[in-house]
Structure 1
């Protein structure tokens, strides 16, 4: 049985959608930074109300649910507690904690949940000191990347197919989540709030760090500028798997004869040259 591990960043789409539909004028006017959300965290009637709102139309009312369920539909995956594990990561703000708790209640009925990771959300710390807020936010982003890399690689070792969903959350969190996905060679999916609900975008592999024999191959190509003819055929026999992988990540490109369709030359792409220079200088 194939097992899936979804890392999902949580934004406030549930909250903003609820504010648009609620008849409570006080809640409608609350800003993200309002301390009133802290009081609402311990208000069962409100928490049940927002959960019921989510359940009425999950994909319409939550970007996180919409993207997750859209991805599963696209891949024709029937998720259950045995084959799907979800890791939610939000920010340390009262408003986002409400969103995370609401999603936990929703997902717990369908899949297994791993304890979420909270990082600095700026607004909570700003109430103490603005400089602390900035420092904590920056530190939180760094810690988030480290945590996501560790948990993703651990789950890969346990046999899970790891996928990242950076649809929700603040832009730095979205970027960090996507970067972790690229660095671990995982699939990344995304949906914009204005997309049709089934228009899931699976991002192409934009980042890959070559290793071992792949670096050897890149060194050989870089030394010559390009390798063609007999030397390319020889290279193909020795490095076939490495060439295929580097082609996948657009680190090398291969020229093909238009008439015969035969490959005859390989070179580093501009991206490949940049990656090779970085590997040589910093590793």
Structure 2
């Protein structure tokens, strides 16, 4: 029997930090100039640094900086990319590789130029070196490897305000994709190794709520791959039922008359109350819509 796997992976800047450590191997003078900077190393740029815009513009094959970085990654992809290392190591250790007929890889960079650049390099490697990737993972040459266009999680990496905008993106673009892929018969594997840690923590919880099949993680110090326990998470039925009664907006007094503890819902950050009217927060409504 053949299975289809979908690997959804966040993307950080490990590609860039590893290039910085091997800057002498770059051939392009422009690339060496960018990656040898002590004041503004590309992997550690502030989210509002003007160089973030530059790296968005460089994120395409044919640019001399992009091609130079790509060639380094191609020479040793599992060393240069923590994301590729985690995905490849998990596939290599999966005991029933012969049952994998297709691997779909979806990359999720944060809303920063350096992460978007890194995702573009990783995607280009997977497309251009598909056979080499299969050899490194032990997949059969006949296994189909597909790579989606990277999906930027808007708001992520933009500071504390991401909780307002980024969480909606996470639920819509990430949880929604997990549910859609499950419904299409894929075994969904989530790799939250790359990117910002607070966002990765939320992503892991959302993946569990959405019903991912496996969640894997690469320990940055030991480079070991672990499968995180799949906790049986779900929304508290009390809150779920109460939130459905709130709907599109109901007066607080009406809800309290039917036994809804509005103060508890507000304390949990699930609703907001304005002028006596209770509304479910946008991200909560989206989560309810996706998870039923």
- Give the structure-2-normalised TM-score: 0.63
SS at match of 2:153: strand
1:40-189 → structure 2 map (5 Å cutoff): 40-43=55-58, 44-76=63-95, 83-109=102-128, 110=130, 111-120=145-154, 134-136=160-162, 138-186=164-212, 187-189=214-216
Match of 1:194 among 221, 243, 255: 221
For 1:280 and 1:137, locate their aligned partners in 2 and report how far apart those are by CA, in whole Å: 24
Q: Give the Å deviation of 1:36.
A: 2.7
Question: Closer, same or farther in 2 for the Cα pair 1:137/1:115, shift >3 Å?
Answer: farther
RMSD: 2.6
Question: Closer, same or farther in 2 for the Cα pair 1:49/1:176, shift >3 Å?
Answer: same
**Contact 1:9 1:177 (C-alpha < 8 Å) held by counterparts:** no
Displacement over 6 Å in runs of 4+: none
For 2:203 and 2:218, locate their aligned partners in 1 and report how far apart those are by CA, in whole Å: 14
SS at match of 2:9: strand
SS at match of 1:83: strand
The corresponding residue for 2:54 is: 39
Question: Closer, same or farther in 2 for the Cα pair 1:48/1:78, shift >3 Å?
Answer: farther
**Contact 1:9 1:173 (C-alpha < 8 Å) held by counterparts:** no
For 1:72 and 1:282, locate their aligned partners in 2 and report how far apart those are by CA, in whole Å: 37
Q: Give the Å deviation of 1:89.
A: 0.6
The corresponding residue for 1:9 is: 10
**Contact 2:7 2:190 (C-alpha < 8 Å) held by counterparts:** yes
Q: Give the Å deviation of 1:184.
A: 2.5
SS at match of 2:216: strand
The corresponding residue for 1:242 is: none
For 1:40 and 1:94, locate their aligned partners in 2 and report how far apart those are by CA, in whole Å: 5
Unaligned runs of at least 5 residues, structure 1: 126-132, 210-274
Question: Closer, same or farther in 2 for the Cα pair 1:279/1:47, shift >3 Å?
Answer: same
For 2:118 and 2:34, locate their aligned partners in 1 and report how far apart those are by CA, in whole Å: 18
Aligned length: 206
SS at match of 1:168: coil
Question: Closer, same or farther in 2 for the Cα pair 1:104/1:26, shift >3 Å?
Answer: closer
For 2:12 and 2:238, locate their aligned partners in 1 and report how far apart those are by CA, in whole Å: 38
Q: Give the Å deviation of 1:165.
A: 0.4
